Amino acid sequence: MSRRQTGLRWLLALICLCGISGAHAACTATAPSVAFGSYSPVSGNTVDVNGTITINCTGIAVSTRIRACINIGTGSAGTTVSPRIMASGTRQLQFNIYSDSYTTPWGARNTAGFAPIMVDFPVLLGNGTASVNYFARLFANQSSAVAGNYSSTFSGLSAEVTYLDYGVLVPAPDCATLSSPSTPITFTATATVANDCVITANTLDFGTSGVLRTALDANGSLSVRCTLNAPYSIALNAGTGAGATVAARRMTRSGGTQTVGYQLFRNAARTEPWGDGTNGTLTVTGTGTGTAQTVNLYGRVPAQTTPQAGTYQDTVTVTITY
């Protein structure tokens, strides 16, 4: 009698051990690359992309649910979560990956202040699947960026899913302490910084004059913002006046056909006509700093026969080549 009881106890223990060892899931996780594409550091625009991380678990014999903790760390190019960094040599671009609409940075169990994302999902016929969206943003106005390809790779501790299957009688694990089992998520964040320029111009106003017996001078300026180290050239066309050239522009009377001749120069002495490089004119060249640069413009209405009274104006097109 005693021997049968002992044998029964060993059999029950063996059955329980087999049930526990067969309960654990095997999970894999995939994520698309965070591809920001072409980026202008001077346009004032952010670049936003989003994607989906997918988790698939199989081989679950007993448990009814799975808890997965999705950890996204700093990436290969930086040491912080907010912001994250992409690099091209020693140059950097700042971006981030969020668990919501660009508010909460996505973290990992080893990133202080930034938590991993926890997802619980059910087991059906021994399998379980979950999908979690991410949101990524490349920040605007990064004036220190030069043209080139930037990247950061996420793998190992910088991108992994830790997980555990559990049932009614087993408490769900906490993401802060759940370190195994784990499965890697490998993806890369990429962006291409383009040479780009933004240019604005103010009205050049010669004021009011009764007669044009002497020259009228006026000064104006352009604001130019180009990608750091990008060379550029600024040309001015002939304007819209009838018979105008880049060397001899004309303002036209509003509501009429009469004109007033004038010229634009790139120097204060008004000896270097600013045009498109033809007909004896010059262009203005420079190199981008990533921030706004002021380019001065000098105008002159020479002495000439005074036409009919009125308001005279012209529209000149500014073209920047980079």
Model pLDDT, residue 63: 74
Indicate the average pLDDT of the chain. 91
Q: What is the DSSP string of 187-212?
A: EEEEEEE---EEEEE--------S--
Tell me: pLDDT of 5 over 70. no
**Nearest C-alpha neighbor of 244 from the set 270, 263, 217, 271:** 263
Q: Does domain 26-193 fall into CATH 2.60.40?
A: yes
Contacts of 7 (CB under 8 A, 6+ apart): none
- Which pLDDT value is given to residue 10? 31
Return the pLDDT at 169. Answer: 63
pLDDT band at residue 61 under the 50/70/90 scheme: confident
Pinpoint the alpha helices (H) of the chain. Answer: 2-21
CATH superfamily, region 197-321: Fimbrial-type adhesion domain (2.60.40.1090)
Q: What is the pLDDT of residue 24?
A: 62
The domain locations on the chain are 26-193, 197-321
Q: Which residue has the tokens 């080139």?
A: 148
pLDDT higher than 50, residue 125 = yes
* pLDDT (tens digit per residue) in 259-284: 999 999 999 999 999 999 999 999 99
Per the CB < 8 A criterion, the answer to whether 62 and 23 are in contact is yes
* Mean pLDDT on 170-190: 91
198-253: pLDDT as tens digits: 999 999 999 999 999 999 999 999 999 999 999 999 999 999 999 999 999 999 99
CB 165 within 8 A of CB 123: yes
Domains 26-193 and 197-321 share a fold: yes
Q: What percent of the chain stands above pLDDT 90?
A: 83
> What three-state secondary structure class fits 120?
strand
Number of neighbouring beta carbons within 10 Å of residue 16:
10
Q: Is 173 exposed, middle or buried (0-12, 13-18, 19+ CB in 10 A)?
A: middle
What sign does the CA torsion over 100, 106, 112, 116 have? positive
Tens-digit pLDDT profile for residues 139-167? 999 999 999 999 999 998 899 999 998 87
Residue 78 CB: number of other CB atoms within 10 A?
A: 18
Model confidence at 15, in pLDDT bands (50, 70, 90)?
Answer: very low
pLDDT at 168 over 70: no
